[in-house]
Amino acid sequence: MTQKDFYQVLGVARDASLEDIKKAYRKLALQYHPDRNPGNKEAEENFKAATEAYEVLSDPGTRRNYDQVGEAGIKGAGFHHYDDIGDALRAFMRDFGGFGFEELFGGARRGARGGGRGEPGQNLQVRLSLTLAEISTGTTKKLRIRRRVACPACGGRGARAGTSESVCRDCGGRGQVQRVAQSFFGRMMTVSECPTCRGEGRVVTEPCGDCRGEGVVSAEETVSVKAPAGVANGNYIPLQGLGDAGRRGGPSGDLYVVIEEQEDELFQRVGDDILTEVFISDPQAALGDRLEVPTLTGKAALKIPPGTQSHSILRMRGKGLGRLNGAGHGDQLVRILVHVPESPSGRERELLEELQKHQDGRLPPPRKGQYGLEE
């Protein structure tokens, strides 16, 4: 099997600093980000490869092992192959938190202006808060947004009804002006956007009274957003053409819906799995039992094997979150906690004392702690 050169993937030298590695990865992540390359499988593979390389080279211990013996030095040491684009995106969001909208998508959809009609509208963003139950199955939400729309009175032209635009006299309809200046090196010519018509090539002599010649007005609208199963904090859902309408007939910007996960009282997200905790009694732990536990969709039966220890984790297959790529569901992890009565009395105390007599000398010896100390 061909060995990967993670330094070559990121385009950095083998003695590159951590800052150089971060900069190189961020540049590649911006170039190949799925939101910037929808449906492009090659860009998706490049994004996953760059994330994999960054994960190896940004960790000093993993990088040292890789430098010494290559990929063989990192296998089985927590190294993760990013076969799933969702995992790669979550790894990126963990360290970088995502790109700003200006950086990833631009403030507006820009085109060649010279003589073109109107200015592009601005991109907008709105946040959509979802519960884990909604994330598990996917959901469709209605959102109220305020955006600029084409002026109904003038149809977005900016000119008063019954009038029309005229060719800009300063640029002759080209949308650009040329300036010539004398310098030490001779005559220098510069080309820039016409300030009179703002690059449109036309001017409104009698502006619409409703929009004051802009061609757009502010309005509230309801939009439908389909959030697929498995989305995570910071994921973007692009809605093309639902940003601000362009000034005087220009193309509309896009609307980007940013996902926010609501905290759940019972469940903690762990990738596509969810984790919850359930208390059981000493007899249940020793003898085993069958009980109902809460799930994202209601309740389900969970078998407690005999001899279950406190802090054991039992797995309920397919009870987790729906995966972003549509390949089934994650699992529900149930951490078992054995409840110890604080102040037993009466018959309960008698039974516990009797049990203690039978257990004397049967407890295992001390051992090194497994869980560490919490901060």
In this model, does residue 183 exceed pLDDT 60? Answer: no
The mean pLDDT value for 91-107 works out to: 60
* Greatest distance between any 2 Cα atoms in the chain: 106
Q: What is the pTM of this model?
A: 0.59
CATH of domain 6-99: 1.10.287.110
In this model, does residue 76 exceed pLDDT 60? Answer: no
CB atoms within 10 A of CB 231: 23
In 3D space, the residue among 194, 195, 193, 190 whose CA is nearest the CA of residue 179 turns out to be 190
pLDDT reported for residue 112: 36
Residue 272 to residues 96, 217, 302, Cα–Cα distance (Å) = 20, 43, 20
In 3D space, the residue among 275, 302, 276 whose CA is nearest the CA of residue 289 turns out to be 302
Q: How far is the C-alpha of 275 from the C-alpha of 314, rounded, in Å?
A: 10
Residue type, 18: L
The two beta strands, 139-150 and 216-227, are antiparallel
Enter the tokens of residue 6: 């993670």
In this model, does residue 100 exceed pLDDT 80? Answer: no
pLDDT reported for residue 369: 66
pLDDT digits (tens, 9 = 90+) for 273-316: 999 999 999 889 999 999 999 999 999 999 999 999 999 999 99
pLDDT reported for residue 336: 94
The mean pLDDT value for 228-233 works out to: 89
- Which class does domain 111-160+205-261 fall in? mainly beta
Q: Please provide the average confidence, as pLDDT, over all residues in the chain.
A: 83
> Per-residue confidence at 63, pLDDT binned at 50, 70, 90?
confident
Helix, strand, coil share of the chain (percent; to 5): 25, 30, 45
pLDDT reported for residue 375: 42
Ranges 103-112, 113-122, 199-208: which has the least confidence: 103-112
Contact 101, 187 (CB under 8 A): no
CATH of domain 268-359: 2.60.260.20
pLDDT reported for residue 115: 44
SS3 34: coil
pLDDT reported for residue 355: 77
pLDDT digits (tens, 9 = 90+) for 120-175: 888 999 999 999 999 999 999 999 999 999 999 988 888 888 887 888 888 888 88
* Cβ-proximal residues to 4 (8 Å cutoff; 6+ apart), any chain: 49, 52, 53, 71
Residue type, 320: G
pLDDT reported for residue 114: 42
pLDDT reported for residue 198: 78
Top-confidence residue, 9 or 157: 9
Positions of CATH 2.60.260.20 in the chain: 111-160+205-261, 268-359
Positions of CATH 1.10.287.110 in the chain: 6-99
